[in-house]
Amino acid sequence: MLSYLHGFHAGNFADVHKHSALVLILAHLQKKAKPFSVIDTHAGAGWYDLSSVQAQKTGEWQGGIAAVQREAQVPLAMVPYLDLIDDFVPDNRGFGAGSEDGSNGDEPSVPPLYYPGSPFIVQKMLREDDHLTVMELHPREYETLDRRLYHDRRVTLQKRDGYEGLVAMVPPAIRRGLVLMDPSYDVKQDYVRAARSIIAAHRRWATATYMLWYPILEDGFDLELHDMFSQIPATGGVLCSEIAASHGGGKGRMLGSGLLIVNPPYQLDEQLANIGDWLRDVVDLPGPGVHFQDWLVKAQ
Ligand code: SAM
In 3D space, the residue among 154, 151, 144, 152 whose CA is nearest the CA of residue 117 turns out to be 144
Q: How far is the CA of 18 from the centre of ligand 1 (A)?
A: 14
Closest ligand 1 atom number to CA of residue 41? 25
Query: pLDDT averaged over the chain?
Result: 91
pLDDT bucket at 170, cuts 50 / 70 / 90: very high
Domain boundaries, the chain: 6-297
pLDDT bucket at 192, cuts 50 / 70 / 90: very high
Q: How far is the CA of 216 from the centre of ligand 1 (A)?
A: 17
Domain 6-297 classification at class level:
alpha beta
pLDDT of the residue at 69: 93
pLDDT single digits (tens) 209-266:
999 999 999 888 889 999 999 999 999 999 999 999 988 766 667 899 999 999 999 9
pLDDT of the residue at 250: 65
pLDDT of the residue at 96: 39
ipTM, 2 dp: 0.99
Chain-centroid distance, C-alpha 203: 23
CA atoms within 13 A on the CB side of 216: 26
Integer CA distances (angstroms), 274 to 28, 152, 279, in order:
17, 35, 9
Catalytic residue set: 182
In 3D space, the residue among 109, 66, 114, 72 whose CA is nearest the CA of residue 90 turns out to be 114
**pTM, two decimal places:** 0.94
Closest ligand 1 atom number to CA of residue 18? 4
pLDDT mean over 78-104: 69
pLDDT single digits (tens) 98-108:
344 444 344 44
pLDDT of the residue at 104: 39
